[in-house]
Amino acid sequence: MISGKIKKYHVLMIVVFLICSLLLAACDNSQQPADSETDKDNGTSQEQANKKGILVVSFGTSYPDTRKATIEACEEKIAASFPDYEVRRAFTSKMIIKKLKERDNIEIDTPEEALSKMKEDGFTEVIVQPLHIIPGIEYEEVLTVVNEFKDSFKEITVGRPVLYGIEDYKAAVETLKLQLPELDKDQAVVLMGHGTSHPANACYSCLQSVLSDEGLNVFVGTVEGYPEIDDIIAKLKENKIKEVTLMPYMLVAGDHASNDMAGDEDDSWKSILEKEGFAVNIYLHGLGENPGYQDLYVQRVQDCIDGNPLGVEEE
């Protein structure tokens, strides 16, 4: 009798053990999807915590065709090159911003407004890439604005303009060759740079030196700095140049290019050169239309991502 009770007890213990094992397995299985969902939630929150953006800053232009061909083309190239980043736009010219708002009902942010919105929208990593040519007044204003937002993001970096380090000049000249016509000894290209009262006006002289080192019949003048068109004419005559192609060395072919360079007014570079006896051709395209210059801006952004915004080569 006792032996029978013991056997029943053993059977009962085995049944209880099996039931407990099944319950534990069921609990483990029910927890796995929850853990998976937790992992997904963590991944989503991680992505949200590292919201990355690129703010492309330019002076701007009120000419819609050249804006699309230059500024928008550069923005689109940058966006396509860095799909993990959201690309936004800012103009530094309040006059152009106002004109676009009143004339076309187009709203463009200043750098301050754009960065404020990016802060509100939860961006943590921001690259500010100017489309400026030289590190002059406009570029320094961008640096000042960015400095005001240095504590607003986990990381904020400013890319350099086209002309900065000596290797940048060499790359800029190589890229410029893509749009230069074939030139005979008595033919030349005259570049119209913007020019400035800022010490960065010296960038144009450095550019001229690199162009000369390459043996190119290309002369750099400025509309609001040095050298001026009269200085360039003296060089053209010294080199016995008879035919000139005028070309803007600016991001966009806007007001300066259309009027000060290529206009029919007596004080345009075209009219002045023609009065001096030169045959004049016009190349009315901004640097932003040149795919090579678009790539230069893409490289500037990549340098920021790589922690080398100034493009300093390691020795």
Question: Which is the catalytic residue, given 194, 198, 256, 285?
Answer: 194
Q: Which two tokens stand for residue 305?
A: 């991502």
Q: What angle do CA 184, 189, 194 make, to 5 degrees?
A: 170
What whole-number distance in Å separates Cα of residue 121 and Cα of residue 276? 57
Query: Is 194 in the active site?
Result: yes
Surface-to-core class of residue 27, CB atoms within 10 Å of its CB (0-12 exposed, 13-18 middle, 19+ buried)? exposed
Q: CA 118, 119, 121, 126 torsion: positive or negative?
A: positive
E-strand stretches of 73-216:
86-91, 125-130, 155-158, 187-193
The span from the CA of 236 to the CA of 143, in Å, is: 38
Side by side, the strands of the sheet bearing 187-193 are 218-222, 187-193, 243-248, 279-282
Residues with catalytic roles? 194
